[in-house]
Structure 1
């Protein structure tokens, strides 16, 4: 692909008119549109889940103090059908668009950012099934999602595995296929019914995704994540010991949906946006209730002090901007989803590139907004904000932890390389020891 580098517009900006959400949907036959998730009435959709979000928010501080995993809270969401938000209405889901999902996840993150991140692997797998529906019937999986079944993540290898190597293996035995290996950062798996496992297939060394039933003796999940933030995401270790997997639940990794890296990042953007909005709201409430003032302050009443108002006003605006960026950055991923069904390989390729670009650009900006807001908000309350009983530090700790995923310094370089040299953005990457390490 060639990118223009001598003007302010690039080839990625010069899409045909049909390469938009509305334009791509218009190119689909009516019978195909009925099979897809094109969007819902957002307020009606959100109203369905907001009572649960409110219940989750009411006990978020207690969970933080006790480091109590939100089994019950996630079960509330499962029972309400939250895991099927993106499933087409024809199959019993809400039929939400991707931007609507991200906005909804931001609302959930404002209630408890741990839960949004814990469901990240689930919604990524749902997105893959939505894409695979273009070539094979996925109604069986759609029914599972509607019934409340969720999927956890198990991708990152444990130990000194080199970049690109896969120690977790799928092996043929006399009793069928089994998975053996260990994974860390298995976010959400402890709450899930199925595990999305990245593994190597022994028969041909092909990288595959194995869908392993979590409820079997061969799967052991430990809550050993020791991060200072996002403490209840269930991002610990999962060990597979001859865990059974059905042949039909194994797919080749290269067939997975192209905008997956963008999607994973977009969920983080939703999480960060929700954190900032929740932090600004709580600090505003505490500032409104505060009675003590300083003799050298700007007002005899804390809530009327213009400098305090300025701090909260800035953070509130940062939350507004973060959500706006997250939702806008998601539009190209919805386009990539629709492009999967129109049969135009070049349009699909370009839109997937734009999806990757826009998720990275959103990441670069939202991280700064989130960390700045959750740090400077403490100026609106003074030393009392540091009380451990209030746990106001959780907003910064959680934002800092989420911001440390998918290192932003590399995303900045990648976007810069695209802007200067027209270099395509990578769709997937790996982590591990350097290849030449001894």
Structure 2
């Protein structure tokens, strides 16, 4: 509820700004302005409705979610671009004002004048609420309309591009990772990492089938699904997740919870995934062996599980293991690497951030997570963060294309 209220306030402010610059500043008082105002209000209500029904698997939820979430991205970028255009707007308005002559508000007829004086030009209200001559109004309307049109065209271009990125095939990334303790017999071991698939009203069975097909084409040794698989219940999305049973790898498929699993009913989903052959790691560890060598694969629950009595337990997952054996940890959020480092984890595989999903949201991600995207080292532990294969909210990705990552482990040769 708190998130919904904050979201309503932020989107209300964005829509007010859009109305001010794209409706009030571009129209004279009258029918056109009333129609424009009604459109902006309707779009605001559409966004709020999309958020409210986005977790419904019904046809109504899909019908509302698609236009609502597309406009959510549109509203964000339209407000952002109009904000950037404030600089040329101010400069153009100042230049226009220098050409304006103050409009007289009335002229008294001289006492005893034989002839009446000319009536001054009419005074009109300009879009910014000041008084001016008709030619001044036309000049300011031209500036406001030109910038609003430019902002609208730019917004349409950005959102259209972002939609093609979000709905297109994920990029397959190949990520070589060197582990000092890895036995050379395991060098070249390949793990397919996929996160944030986000099955829901906008992404269904076809999305899962595409991901499974792309992973199977890589012929990997192990598949790691690192959380946020679904946005809905098993009853609503079980059929959409069913193709996961077709994942093929040498040592199987494994899963750890993300925050959205807890919003969607974690226990039923964990049981369903186990039925599909995707093995949940709930604060657990097992040995992965090949050619007489092994490494530990561990998984911890998402931090949001704490509110549901099912939080991460690093001691349970990692205590008692052989410190000479490398350990690869599956953990949904990169921020969990700080605790992982205390337990001597060699490599953590994560998602959650979506790589920021829509530029410049990547700046906000950096305030919450130590790694936004890619491979980095935090407190001595390497952590790889996937952009995710789906999206949340708007079906738009700008600057952070979806991905499926193939992490290839390598032995560190001395010298």
Higher share of residues assigned strand? 2
Higher helix share: 1
TM bracket (short chain): under 0.3
Structure possessing the higher radius of gyration over alpha carbons: 2
Provide TM-score, normalisation by structure 2: 0.23
